[in-house]
């Protein structure tokens, strides 16, 4: 298990995200992957997402919380992400988060941001 936030720098990770509505029902699941480019205890871990080889623009960044309890050494293999044509080969880590909606759409005032609670999955993910 990782001990320091800085240990994730320049490592590749496959990120499994499961989104739940306020009643606990799964809204969607997605799989992202990329390279950790920045870490900050307050702001979180910045991952430059992998893109297809034909993509002409810079890969987007994705920010996740700085909690390390959901980071596990990944098994060797080829992993396909939710982005068409994007896969990771032998990533360093598997990371999984459950993301819970905290307000129904009707509860969010116009112009207000939708709020989500990120909960790390601290059990090693099953692959295969």
pLDDT at 103 exceeding the cut of 80: no
Domain that holds residue 107: 5-120
In a domain, 55, yes or no: yes
Query: Which residue would you say has higher pLDDT here, 43 or 110?
Result: 43
Q: What is the mean pLDDT of residues 4-9?
A: 95
DSSP for residue 70: T
In a domain, 126, yes or no: no
Mean pLDDT of the chain: 88
Residues 6+ apart with CB under 8 A from 58: none
* pLDDT at residue 57 in the model: 73
Q: Are 32 and 113 in contact (CB under 8 A)?
A: no
In a domain, 127, yes or no: no
Question: What total number of domains does the chain contain?
Answer: 1
Task: With H, G, I as helix, E, B as strand and everything else as coil, classify residue 91.
Answer: coil
Q: What is the mean pLDDT of residues 41-68?
A: 87
Strand partners, 49: 34
In a domain, 27, yes or no: yes
């Amino acid at each position: 298990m990782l001990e320091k936030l800085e240990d994730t720098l320049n490592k590749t990770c496959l990120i499994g995200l499961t989104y739940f509505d306020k009643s606990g029902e799964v809204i969607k699941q997605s799989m992202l992957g990329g390279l950790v480019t920045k870490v900050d205890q307050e702001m979180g871990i910045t991952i430059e997402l992998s893109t297809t080889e034909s993509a002409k623009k810079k890969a987007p960044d994705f920010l996740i919380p700085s909690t390390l309890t959901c980071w596990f050494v990944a098994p060797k293999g080829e992993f396909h992400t939710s982005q068409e044509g994007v896969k990771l080969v032998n990533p360093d880590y598997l990371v999984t988060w459950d993301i819970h909606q905290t307000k129904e759409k009707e509860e969010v005032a116009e112009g207000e941001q939708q709020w989500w609670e990120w909960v790390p999955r601290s059990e090693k993910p099953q692959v295969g």
